[in-house]
Amino acid sequence: MESIMNPQDGLKEAAAQGGLAALTNFIYLQQHRLVICREHGYAVGLDLKRHMKDHHPRYTRIVQQAVFARFQSLSRIEPHKAVLPRADDPPIEGLLPPQKAFKCSGAECGHISISRDVIMSHSRLDHNWKHTKDTPTHWAELFVQSFSQTPGKQRWFAVSVEEGRTTAVAAPVSADIMADMEEIKSKAVVFRAKEKRKMDVLAGLHPTDKTGWWKRTQWVAHLENSNLQHLAHAARLPGADEPALKVVADAVDELIEDCFRILARWAA
């Protein structure tokens, strides 16, 4: 029989549910009003629940609720509407690593693409650029990131990359995340205790009586989808702290005994 988890083992239980990994996987950028998913390297849309359901099915319900509660009250916006960082800011933690791209050199243009062919076509069509000895290119190479990976919504922005380094350093686990972890641990303990009580009820009802009376009344089929915990609670004997129920139970017992006595006299 499964035993109730010791609360001191809560951290291991929460870790098994992906609690710490889930809470540290999502980070909030207040300046841009975005929630970043580190695992996928982009900003999540307003429907955080949908993202977790579609892309993080391994998260338990308790963990998903903790993640959602952490960000639901924060001001957020769709990634393609967010304010972009200033040019040449450091890479943003959690997004995909900076990649090489090409920025148009046209006056007041600033078009960016990660494809050389695309930037070349843009330069020809929009700026009448032609490859010559004096103008071999019409763009500059740089490193970029994007909040969105959806085609057509990838608004690339330039980032400053140090020599040999293209990713930001991860921040340590913050105190508020650890507080959320404590809540997950507590909920995990409660969940495990409920599951144990449920298993105890099932064990007490098994094996099910399969006599002719049960077959004729079809109680087994009638109750198979019922909440056994609720049934067990309703069918239990009254407790010492339930005097009113005790009186009712005694009255029913006396009524049944009176019925049997009357039937016995009739039979005689």
Average the pLDDT over each of 34-38, 124-128, 186-190, 258-262 and give the range with the smallest value. Answer: 186-190
Amino acid letter for position 155:
R
pLDDT for the residue numbered 157: 93
Segment among 85-94, 191-200, 224-233 with least mean pLDDT: 191-200
pLDDT digits (tens, 9 = 90+) for 137-146: 999 999 999 9
Residue 81 DSSP label: G
Instruction: Give residue 5's pLDDT.
Output: 39
Task: Give the model confidence (pLDDT) of 65-80 as tens digits.
Answer: 888 888 888 899 999 8
pTM for the structure as a whole? 0.55
Whether the pLDDT of residue 47 is over 80: the answer is yes
| Per-residue model confidence as pLDDT tens digits over 3-21 | 333 444 444 454 445 677 7
Distances 14 to 35, 79, 119 between C-alpha atoms, Å: 22, 30, 48
Angle between helices 175-205 and 61-71 (to 10 degrees): 150
Average pLDDT over residues 30-51: 91
- 100-132 pLDDT, tens digit per residue, is 999 998 888 889 988 889 999 999 999 998 888
Q: Is the pLDDT of residue 134 over 90?
A: no
Alpha-carbon distance of 5 to 179, in angstroms, equals 20
Instruction: Express each pLDDT in 225-256 by its tens digit.
Output: 777 677 777 776 666 667 777 777 777 777 87
213 falls in which pLDDT band (50, 70, 90)?
Answer: low
Dihedrals phi, psi of 98, to nearest 5 degrees: -55, 140
pLDDT at 259: 78
All residues at 6 or more sequence positions from 186 whose CB lies less than 8 Å from its CB, including other chains: 10
* Domain boundaries, given as residue ranges, for the chain: 7-81+171-185, 99-145, 208-236, 237-268
| C-alpha to C-alpha distance for 104 and 121, rounded to whole angstroms | 11
Interval 190-215 mean pLDDT: 62
Q: Which helix (H) or strand (E) holds 49?
A: helix 48-55
CB 50 within 8 A of CB 68: no
